[in-house]
Amino acid sequence: MPVVVVANPKGGVGKSTLSTHIAGYFASKHAGVMLGDADRQQSCRLWLSLRPATARAIGNWEISDDQIAKPPKGTTHMVIDTPAGLHGKRLKDVLKLAHMVVVPLQPSVFDIFATRDFLDELAERVKADKTQVGIVAMRVDERTRAAEQLRTFVASTGLPVLGTLRDTQNYVQLAAHGLTVFDLAPERVARDLDQWQPICRWLEQ
């Protein structure tokens, strides 16, 4: 079963937003989706508690500093949200589980420099064990100079940019109700769903 780890050592880059939406996408296509939260802030656990009973089910995958619970029978897809500052043995333990690693990255010089060493480490991991790694540009206006700088930086890593997600209140408002763009009528979030298409294709490869 595929395990998708969402990771970036920089805080505030959109890891929880990306994690919940990947889980929401899988839930819209598959049964048996689990969402684990390795972050002490437990943002994804809170999000799951807000998710309405009428929405497609996403299970809570128990993860602690000491152990990671075995997923229940019938689980088909798993997503792990990780904390800022993840490094060393804890990072290696989480990455051992991963079939895919998705890195959210914002187009600021601070985010880029804070993430550089981590991306270099992931690039080496791709060479070593074929883990799939991709970057999602978060809160980006593609027309800006910052977006161009981000594209230039990512090109230097040799890792693919899976897609670009715009800065919109849709994500904030949906999070408050435990929902994702995949839970709404497509015409209500058409622009956002268009941006998710290449990311979803990569997740299903």
Q: Which domains does the chain have, with CATH numbers?
A: 3-203 (3.40.50.300)
pLDDT on residue 64: 64
- Return d(Cα 80, Cα 55) in angstroms, integer: 20
- How is residue 130 written in tokens? 């074929």
- Return d(Cα 96, Cα 128) in angstroms, integer: 12
* 114 CB-contact burial (10 Å; exposed 0-12 / middle 13-18 / buried 19+): middle
Grade residue 66 by pLDDT with cuts at 50, 70 and 90: low
- Return d(Cα 45, Cα 43) in angstroms, integer: 5
- Return d(Cα 151, Cα 204) in angstroms, integer: 24
Grade residue 65 by pLDDT with cuts at 50, 70 and 90: low
The whole-number average pLDDT for the span 36-51 is: 90
Grade residue 177 by pLDDT with cuts at 50, 70 and 90: very high
pLDDT on residue 72: 77
- Return d(Cα 68, Cα 62) in angstroms, integer: 6
pLDDT on residue 74: 86
Tell me, rounded to whole angstroms, the distance of Cα 42 from its chain centroid: 15
Prediction pTM value: 0.93
Helix residue spans in the chain (DSSP H): 15-29, 43-50, 88-97, 109-129, 145-157, 169-175, 190-203
The whole-number average pLDDT for the span 9-24 is: 94
Task: Give the tens place of pLDDT for each residue, 124-167.
Answer: 777 777 789 999 999 988 788 888 888 888 888 888 999 999 99
